[in-house]
Amino acid sequence: MAEPATTHVPDLSKYRRDFPILERDLSGRQLIYLDSAATSLKPQAVIDAVTGFYTRYTSNIHRAVHALSEEATEAFEDARATVARFLNADIREVAFTRNATEALNVVSHSLRDRGPVVMPLSEHHSNLVPWRAGNSVVLKAMPDGQVDIEAARRTIAETKPALVAMSTVSNGLGITLPVAELTAAARDAGAMVLLDVSQSCGHEPVDVVELDCDFACFSGHKMLAPSGIGVLYQREGLEHSLEPLLIGGAMVHEVHVEDHTFRPFPWCMEAGTPNIEGAIGLAAACDYLDAIGLDVVQSHCRHLTSMVRAQLEALPQVDVHVSGPSASDSMVTFSSKSVAAHGVARMLSNRFGIMVRSGYHCAQPVYESCGIPESVRASVHLYNTAEEMDSLVEAVSVVSKMA
Ligand SMILES: Cc1ncc(COP(=O)(O)O)c(C=O)c1O
């Protein structure tokens, strides 16, 4: 594996060796993975944690009193405690879900009839579509996809919503949202706040107390953990607490012939056998990232994206869609003036071994509203290098001249 020359992460080469997939050879080319906003690569520590559950203590949880079940239950509840620490939350505030989409559906199922819900247009489909069944008010996007803060303040003050629901970083165009400003406006209007931290968790410190949110959610698979495990945070002591989407075994306290009682949050959200190994893998990812330091991960990714953004902007055949203070630290979206996004992505993969995402990135409304064509999205994580950014720019330059 090539040694990276420039890095903001001490021991980047050592960390890259933690990701076995980076050894993969793609028809003689070294893999360059720039699709972490879709899903991240997994370090050996996470793979080992999941494998350890299968090889040493496979068992169901919260049921049996045998040794393996007790071990698995302890590991699962320890995982909750680790995730809670990672978010600066309490264990009673952290429920495991399948992914961010499920968590967002739980909140919308519980709250969409309590009053208007305001959200930016740039949201992922999973934070737009579930709200459409209720009274949703969408904040218009400016030409670069960003929220107009003054207009948003006015809308929130006039609408007096029950909830403002927004992502910290929008995956569609790669925008950092003005979360502090919109949260303050929500509080002034007496609204609750839901933060979708799917694109910031694992890339920067996420502290639910500092963020002043009532609900938060994310998917583990974007922050080095397995697929099929996500988190729904609910601040303790909320007047209107969430209702489970699924009911049945494991989430009940007592079941009698005629009636039943539910367990409290978070356990009432975990009906049926949960993704035990996923939760254990997610905790391993939290520990792994904590040991490196999320501020280190953030400045590394910021360095890479600002570098590649500047280089792509210098290419006459390329439009970079977001730059300046709105631009995300972890992804860059761009279009070639001559080759459609899927064509660029296919050629980057086939000819250069570079994996990027192309299309609307599950955020079609913001593209339509801003008149931006389907784009190419290059997204980075801890394991990417400055040399990979150079390779991307070189490859995009070649591909853009091919039409
Ligand atoms: C900001 C944001 N929210 C929600 C989701 C949905 O995540 P999942 O498909 O894991 O539920 C994504 C996935 O791209 C996302 O980027």
Q: Is-above-0.85 flag for pTM?
A: yes
| Residue in 293, 129, 281 with CA at minimum distance from that of residue 203 | 293
Q: Choosing from 217, 301, 362, 370, which is the catalytic residue?
A: 362
Tell me which CATH homologous superfamily contains domain 12-40+293-400. Aspartate Aminotransferase, domain 1 (3.90.1150.10)
pLDDT in tens, 45-73: 999 999 999 999 999 999 889 999 999 99
Taking 70 as the threshold, does the pLDDT of residue 8 lie above it?
no
Q: 347 forms bridges with which residues in the sheet?
A: none
The C-alpha atoms of residue 378 and residue 334 are separated, in whole angstroms, by: 8
For residue 255, give the DSSP letter. E
Closest Cα to atom 16 of ligand 1: 171
Domain residue spans of the chain: 12-40+293-400, 47-291
pLDDT tens per residue, range 340-393 = 999 999 999 999 999 999 999 999 999 999 999 999 999 999 999 999 999 999
Quickly count: other Cβ atoms within 10 Å of residue 299's Cβ.
Answer: 15
Q: How far apart are the first and last CA of the chain?
A: 33
Q: What is the DSSP string of 16-50?
A: HHT-GGGG-EETTEE-EE-BTTT-----HHHHHHH
Report CA(101)–ligand 1 centroid distance (Å).
6
Instruction: Report the distance separating Cα 136 and Cα 155, nearest Å.
Output: 12
Q: How confident is the model at residue 4 (pLDDT cuts 50, 70, 90)?
A: very low
Strands 354-355 and 331-336: unpaired
Q: pLDDT for 205-234, tens place per residue?
A: 999 999 999 999 999 999 999 999 999 999
Q: What is the DSSP string of 105-139?
A: HHHHHHHTTSS-EEEETTS-GGGTGGGGGS-EEEE
Residue 169: pLDDT over 80: yes
Ligand 1 environment, Cβ below 6 A: 99-101, 124, 126-127, 167, 171, 196, 198-199, 219, 362
Is residue 286 part of the annotated active site? The answer reads no
| Ligand 1 atom at shortest distance from the alpha carbon of 222 | 10
Query: CA-to-CA distance for 148 and 151, rounded, in angstroms?
Result: 5
Closest CA to 231 of 95, 340, 123, 353: 95
Which residue type occupies 357? R
For domain 47-291, give its CATH number from 3.40.390.30, 3.50.50.60, 3.30.870.10, 3.40.640.10.
Answer: 3.40.640.10
Tell how far the Cα of 344 is from the centroid of ligand 1, in angstroms. 23
d(CA 194, CA 116): 13
What burial letters (b/e) apply to 313-349, b meaning 16+ CB within 10 Å? eebebbebbbeeebbbbbbbbbbbeebebebbbebbb
